[in-house]
């Protein structure tokens, strides 16, 4: 395989981190991946070990218990994990990007002191409840409502439902951030705010886990909120800025999602190369067939392009540069690379590629959601088209 030229943009500490997480993935996560996929259970013992490695605290300062690293470091960890198990990788990606980051960025000192210590240490998980049956890409269609009874010392009363909420029903889930309509503007558009709802709050019901095509180990549930009451002080950030504040987390999440997809594409490539060298048909390894060799070459090209895309976006984010379009390019490119590589790897394995015990078969099931979650492929195209046509000269 060609050298990983993206490594030239990494620090020694980041290269060491990537190697450490890759070793952890190979020695701890991979051997258990099929069993947990079959059981459809999030392995809390592995999550605890990830916490001990400091993975949940990577992009947060040491003052709040984090590792003092950056977003590139988080993405490196996500990619390394996704090579062998996408469910474990998305537990980290969503736990940090959607769970911890909003509280770190927009929480009051009291909120941060209450939630962050356990979250950045991996002792607890947090979730973000945005998506609803009719409100995903169109967050303006949110139907969940929250009305404030009393003043600053009053309570929010929340009613509504959420769908596809990652990390929302684990035994260590501590809090879910809910987006809700808290008022209407003069033009009738909704005022969306974010509110922290502790796990176990009366009226908050975690539904049965979804019977998903893939990501069987990842914890995903619908949520129902019926007369949920939380203190007024649980408002996260400024009232009416709930969705606006979430947009940055969503853009960042697309970078990490792209890193996850790159890891999946890399994992498929590694498995396919190994099999192409070992499997013999008509007296020679199948990798000697030009079609198989060229297929592997295309798989490598997809991985390389995807990795460079997410790294470019992550470096821009780290250095405070605009990265919205780059995040969409990365998410689009890497998601398609993962799906294509999973398909090609399964084909190279033949019948063995159709067995769930084979990692490429699980990647084939898992990778479809990489073209849907964190904004569908069509949403990324829409963002990029607006960036191009709005600016008239390429959006720069």
Q: How far apart are CA 265 and CA 259, in angstroms?
A: 10
Helix (H, G, I), strand (E, B) or coil at 220: strand
Q: Is 374 a catalytic residue?
A: yes
Mean pLDDT of 362-385: 94
Q: Of the candidates 341, 353, 270, which has an alpha carbon nearest to the alpha carbon of residue 306?
A: 341
Pick the CATH number of 126-239 from 3.20.20.150, 1.10.10.1100, 2.40.110.10, 3.40.50.720: 2.40.110.10
Q: What is the pLDDT of residue 4?
A: 57
Mean pLDDT of 182-209: 94
pLDDT in tens, 9-36: 899 999 999 999 999 999 999 999 999 9
Supply 4's token pair: 């990983």
pLDDT at 293 over 60: yes
Helix (H, G, I), strand (E, B) or coil at 239: coil
Mean pLDDT of 363-369: 97
Domain residue extents for the chain: 5-125, 126-239, 244-391
Q: Yes or no: say if 93 and 76 are a contact pair by the CB < 8 Å rule.
A: no
Catalytic residue, candidates 132, 357, 374, 378:
374
Mean pLDDT of 118-140: 89
Mean pLDDT of 84-108: 97
Asked if domains 5-125 and 126-239 share a fold, the reply is no
244-391 folds as Butyryl-CoA Dehydrogenase, subunit A; domain 3 (1.20.140)
Q: Please state, for a pLDDT cut of 90, what percent of the chain lies above it.
A: 86
**pTM here?**
0.93
Q: Of the candidates 345, 207, 194, 161, which has an alpha carbon nearest to the alpha carbon of residue 264?
A: 345
Q: What is the pLDDT of residue 2?
A: 45
pLDDT at 3 over 50: no
pLDDT at 83 over 80: yes
CATH superfamily ID and name for 5-125: Acyl-CoA dehydrogenase/oxidase, N-terminal domain (1.10.540.10)
Confidence bin at 242 (pLDDT 50/70/90): confident
Residue reference for tokens 């502790």: 198
pLDDT in tens, 36-49: 999 999 999 999 99
């Amino acid at each position: 395989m060609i050298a990983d030229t993206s490594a030239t943009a990494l620090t020694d500490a980041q290269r060491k981190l990537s190697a450490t997480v890759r070793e952890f993935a190979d020695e701890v996560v991979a051997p258990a991946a099929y069993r947990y996929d079959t059981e459809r259970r999030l392995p809390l013992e592995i999550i605890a070990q990830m916490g001990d490695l400091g993975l949940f605290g990577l992009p947060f300062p040491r003052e709040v218990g984090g590792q003092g690293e950056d977003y590139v470091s988080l993405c490196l960890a996500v990619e390394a994990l996704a090579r062998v198990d996408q469910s474990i990788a998305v537990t980290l990606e969503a736990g940090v990007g959607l769970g911890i980051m909003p509280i770190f960025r927009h929480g009051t000192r009291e909120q941060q002191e209450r939630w962050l210590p356990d979250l950045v240490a991996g002792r607890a998980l947090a979730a973000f409840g945005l998506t609803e049956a009719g409100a995903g890409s169109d967050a303006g269609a949110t139907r969940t409502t929250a009305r404030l009874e009393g003043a600053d010392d009053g309570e929010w009363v929340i009613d509504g439902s959420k769908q596809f909420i990652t990390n929302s029903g684990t035994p260590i889930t501590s809090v879910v951030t809910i987006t809700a309509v808290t008022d209407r503007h003069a033009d009738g558009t909704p005022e969306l705010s974010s509110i922290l709802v502790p796990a176990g709050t009366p009226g908050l019901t975690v539904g049965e886990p979804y019977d998903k095509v893939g990501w069987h180990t990842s914890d995903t549930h619908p949520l129902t909120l019926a007369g949920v009451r939380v203190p007024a002080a649980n408002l996260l950030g400024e009232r009416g800025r709930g969705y606006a504040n979430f947009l940055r987390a969503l853009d960042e999440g697309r970078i990490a999602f792209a890193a996850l997809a790159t890891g999946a594409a890399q994992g498929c490539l590694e498995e396919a190369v190994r099999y192409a060298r070992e499997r013999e048909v008509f007296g020679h390894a199948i990798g000697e067939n030009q079609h198989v060799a060229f297929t592997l070459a295309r798989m490598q090209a997809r991985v390389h392009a995807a990795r460079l895309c997410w790294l470019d976006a992550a470096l821009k984010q780290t250095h405070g540069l605009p990265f919205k379009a780059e995040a969409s390019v990365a998410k689009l490119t890497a998601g398609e690379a993962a799906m294509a590589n999973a398909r090609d790897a399964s084909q190279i394995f033949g019948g063995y590629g159709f067995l769930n015990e084979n990692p490429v078969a699980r990647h084939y099931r898992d990778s479809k959601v990489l073209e849907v979650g964190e904004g569908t492929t069509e949403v990324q195209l829409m963002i990029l088209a607006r960036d191009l046509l709005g600016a008239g000269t390429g959006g720069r």
